[in-house]
Amino acid sequence: MILRARYALLGPGVVRRDVRLQIDGQRISAIQSGYVPGAPQPDHDFGLALITPGLVNAHAHLELEFCRGRVPYRGSFIRWLQDVRDLKQELPDTATTFPRETLAALRAGGCTTVLDHHTINLNWDAVAGMGLRYLPFREFFMFNNHRPDLERMRAQAKLSYAPHSSYTASIEVAEACRTLADAAGLPISVHLSEFPAELEFIRSGHNPDVERLLEMAGATDSAWHGARMSPIALFAKHGVLSAPTYLIHGNYLEPGDMELLSELKPTIVYCPHSHAFFQHPQHPLASYLAAGINVALGTDSLASNAALSPLREAALARQRLPEVDAADLFAAITVRGLQPLGWDKYLGRLEPGYLADFAVFTLPADPGADFGALFDALLATQRCAMTVCGGKVIHGSLRDAVAA
């Protein structure tokens, strides 16, 4: 199959004009530009359109689909978190077994890979039937659990492991997640340095909001007196960040944290709309990039976001952090979220031999061949005509896509 479009963003900063993208099976077999003598006619010509690699959502909680618009932020992150937990307990088990609408919306927006946190068993066959590359991280809690059962944890996980955070999972639970993920050759995912109360609780051993949350969860640890260091430093000290890791949020940095992150090189996942929802100060994204730290974008959940779209996140990041280069933001929703998995060697770019994960977006006007202008036009319109994952169309029939 050969597709044609006015433009393609082959990778961060790389534009191709009048592109012909050829697919054989699951892989891209050729990418050509302009008139090619003797070449067959394309099967589908999208005209004024832009082809991109499949988009990557590097952090989500899809099981919280039922929270959309139902959990307002009332000035306390801990109160909000408890509200989410209370709402979840009120619903029947079947209410969170398959986040169909969210997965459908992701693929309709050009997303081909989503990294998810889950606390329950979803309908895995139904998830697979949606056609995306779906990577579940089983989330573990219990701050007072100092002897975690690794076999039980392994049985609960569909794929990989996620100690929820420094203030809800004991260091032993976090170490167990690291051990299990390393044995499976997979990264872990963990929320760290998300809000000020977390930093205070880990450093000093006390914070009334966190202590109340743990008490309500039955996870209070009477032996906890603080680590006298930051959450990042604590997890680094215990080797939790010593192998591929998605470090979710990283909103607040204490002295020495940046040096540790530069050395250990986890992938920071910034969730712009969730960050704004909780009214955090400016995210240190630019500082992370300047330090050579890998940064990807995620959406978090529908409890703190109105939609789970990588392009929507990139648009807000572009608005709030104009000093960050367009190529860096494009990388953050394509190739960078794949690096901890090692998938960047065959996904995240449009190159011959790479797997055929890509999206086609129609453009209302021609912005020219400048990468930044094309990226801005994409963020402004976000009109996905087709999403392809592994050579299979998962959004937009070919006929409908051409008509668009």
Q: Which residue, among 393, 399, 300, 403, has the nearest Cα to 107 in the 3D structure?
A: 393
Please spell the DSSP secondary structure of 116-179, one letter per residue.
Answer: EEESS---HHHHHHT-SEEEEEEEE--TT-SS--HHHHHHH-SSEEEE-BTTTS-HHHHHHHHH
Same structural domain for residues 66 and 25? no
pLDDT exceeds 60 at position 402 = no
Same structural domain for residues 304 and 378? no
Q: Which residue, among 245, 237, 221, has the nearest Cα to 163 in the 3D structure?
A: 245
Q: How far, in Å, CA of 322 to CA of 334, rounded?
A: 19
Same structural domain for residues 90 and 36? no
Q: Are 117 and 59 in contact (CB under 8 A)?
A: yes
Same structural domain for residues 293 and 212? yes
pLDDT exceeds 90 at position 117 = yes
Q: How far is CA 210 from CA 64, 67, 82, in A?
A: 22, 22, 11
Q: How far, in Å, CA of 346 to CA of 330, rounded?
A: 17
| Range 201-209 average pLDDT | 97
Helix pair angle (196-204, 208-216), 10° resolution: 90
The per-residue pLDDT for 273 is 98
The per-residue pLDDT for 36 is 74
Residue with tokens 């029939």: 397
Greater pLDDT, 398 or 334: 334
Residue 334, domain extent: 55-344
Based on the structure, what is the number of domains in the chain?
2
Last residue of a domain, one of 344, 364, 390: 344
Same structural domain for residues 49 and 99? no
Same structural domain for residues 265 and 302? yes
Q: How far, in Å, CA of 18 to CA of 96, rounded?
A: 44
| Range 383-387 average pLDDT | 97
398: confidence class by pLDDT, cuts 50, 70, 90: low
Please, what's the b/e burial string for 133-154 (b: 16 or more CB within 10 A of its CB; e: otherwise)? Answer: bbbbbbbbbbbbbeebeeeebe
CATH assignment at residue 22: 2.30.40.10
The per-residue pLDDT for 403 is 34
Last residue of a domain, one of 296, 314, 344: 344
Please give the mean pLDDT across all residues of the chain.
95
Instruction: Give 342's contacts (C-beta < 8 A, 6+ positions apart).
Output: none
Q: How far, in Å, CA of 243 to CA of 236, rounded?
A: 10
Q: Are 137 and 188 in contact (CB under 8 A)?
A: yes
Last residue of a domain, one of 322, 344, 366: 344
The per-residue pLDDT for 404 is 34
Q: How far is CA 240 from CA 153, 261, 292, in A?
A: 16, 12, 20
Backbone angles phi, psi at 202, to 5 degrees: -70, -40
Q: Are 192 and 247 in contact (CB under 8 A)?
A: yes
Both tokens of residue 267?
């992938």
Same structural domain for residues 17 and 63? no
The per-residue pLDDT for 54 is 98
Same structural domain for residues 90 and 160? yes
Same structural domain for residues 66 and 201? yes
Same structural domain for residues 110 and 209? yes
The per-residue pLDDT for 93 is 64
Q: What is the pLDDT of residues 2-49, one digit of tens each?
A: 999 999 999 999 999 999 999 999 999 999 998 777 778 888 999 999
Same structural domain for residues 110 and 183? yes
Same structural domain for residues 94 and 189? yes
Residue with tokens 């959309």: 68
The per-residue pLDDT for 94 is 59
Both tokens of residue 297?
């974008």
Mapped onto helix, strand or coil, the DSSP state of residue 399 is helix
The per-residue pLDDT for 74 is 94
The per-residue pLDDT for 399 is 44
Q: What angle do CA 250, 160, 67 make, to 5 degrees?
A: 65
Instruction: Give 358's contacts (C-beta < 8 A, 6+ positions apart).
Output: 21, 28, 51, 52, 53, 54, 112, 350, 387, 388
Strands (E), 221-325: 245-249, 267-270, 295-297
| DSSP category for residue 242 | S
pLDDT exceeds 50 at position 106 = yes
131: confidence class by pLDDT, cuts 50, 70, 90: very high
CATH assignment at residue 309: 3.20.20.140
Which amino acid appears at position 23 of this protein?
A: I
Mapped onto helix, strand or coil, the DSSP state of residue 275 is helix
Q: What is the pLDDT of residues 301-357, one digit of tens each?
A: 999 999 999 999 999 999 999 999 999 999 999 999 999 999 999 999 999 999 999
